[in-house]
Amino acid sequence: MSALLELRDVHARYGAVKVLHGVSLSVREGEVVALLGANGAGKTTTLRTISGMVKRSGEILLAGRRIASSPEGVARAGVAHVPEGRGTFAELSVRDNLRLGAYAAGRNGGFTRAYAYFPWLEERAAQQAGTLSGGEQQMLALARALMSHPRLLLLDEPSLGLAPRVVRELFQIVRRLNEEEGLAVLVVEQNASLALDVATRAYVLETGRVALEGSSDELRANDDVRRSYLGY
């Protein structure tokens, strides 16, 4: 299968602080790829760089073509990014949050799909999004991402701060989206065992460089990964 997303020797900086020092990675069509790494390794920055929110050099290709350099352009090209902290519009209703998900898409029908995966959202469409629980807000963020019919989903630490049961439910839906819709996903996770369960391949980032890459099985079997990220 061809690469849907490809980063070639990508460098990124915040002002004078260099954070990514030549990251190369790829996500193929229909694939779930995990991005692992310690705090501050640059995982969030990698996703933000793909979305055009950080100054960069190097090449980023989406379906073989240079990706747009602005977040608006990347969104319009079919990349949905659920950021760290979920990006909920807390003061807006659930419905308006979902409408915003479709902002970049020229297509309708998002609500049907979002409600198919998250039926409870329909009953609570009028509720203020900020009054949802953390888990519900993460589900809303995922539903919002679906609204644009994305070809690639960028997920930043969806499990952060959520109860294990909610996290399992969330990853179950990510798996279904991948299997049923062929949605390609690049997911950043601290919870490595969970991420490796749903991903086919993974990259390990260390201080802005790819330190390791391989299939999920290979990484699970790797002693360093086991000690540092799986904890056994």
Ligand X SMILES: Nc1ncnc2c1ncn2[C@@H]1O[C@H](COP(=O)(O)OP(=O)(O)OP(=O)(O)O)[C@@H](O)[C@H]1O
The contact set with ligand X (CB under 6 A) reads 14, 17, 19, 37, 39-45
Tell me: does residue 49 bind Mg ion (CB under 5 A). no
Query: What ranges in 19-78 are assigned the alpha helix state H?
Result: 43-50, 71-76
Q: Is the C-alpha dihedral spanning 90, 95, 96, 97 positive or negative? A: positive
Nearer of residues 72 and 179 to other proteins, judged by Cβ: 72
Identify what 42 binds: other proteins, ligand X, Mg ion, none; CB under 5 to 8 Å per kind: ligand X
Nearer of residues 44 and 148 to Mg ion, judged by Cβ: 44
Give the CB-nearest residue to Mg ion: 44
Nearer of residues 84 and 96 to Mg ion, judged by Cβ: 84
How many whole angstroms separate alpha carbon 183 and alpha carbon 196?
A: 17
How many whole angstroms separate alpha carbon 121 and alpha carbon 28?
A: 31
State the minimum distance, in angstroms, from the CB of residue 74 to ligand X. Answer: 17
**Piece of 26-34, 38-46, 99-107, 133-141 that binds Mg ion (CB under 5 A):** 38-46
Binding-residue total with Mg ion (CB under 5 A): 1
Give contact residues for other proteins (rule: CB under 8 A).
51, 53, 70-72, 75-76, 81, 83, 87-92, 96, 99-101, 103-105, 128, 130-134, 137, 144, 148, 161
Q: Is the C-alpha dihedral spanning 39, 42, 47, 51 positive or negative? A: positive
How many whole angstroms separate alpha carbon 108 and alpha carbon 44?
A: 30
What are the angstrom distances between the C-alpha of 17 and each of 40, 41, 211? 13, 13, 20
Q: Are 22 and 188 in contact (CB under 8 A)?
A: no
Nearer of residues 109 and 172 to other proteins, judged by Cβ: 109
How many whole angstroms separate alpha carbon 27 and alpha carbon 150?
A: 14
State the minimum distance, in angstroms, from the CB of residue 207 to ligand X. Answer: 8
State the minimum distance, in angstroms, from the CB of residue 199 to other proteins. Answer: 22
Nearer of residues 44 and 216 to ligand X, judged by Cβ: 44
Query: Which of 10, 12, 44, 154 forms a contact with Mg ion (CB under 5 A)?
Result: 44
Q: Are 212 and 220 in contact (CB under 8 A)?
A: no
State the minimum distance, in angstroms, from the CB of residue 134 to other proteins. Answer: 6
Query: What ranges in the chain are assigned the alpha helix state H?
Result: 43-50, 71-76, 94-101, 110-117, 120-123, 134-146, 164-181, 192-198, 216-221, 223-225
| Residues lying near Mg ion in the complex (CB under 5 A) | 44
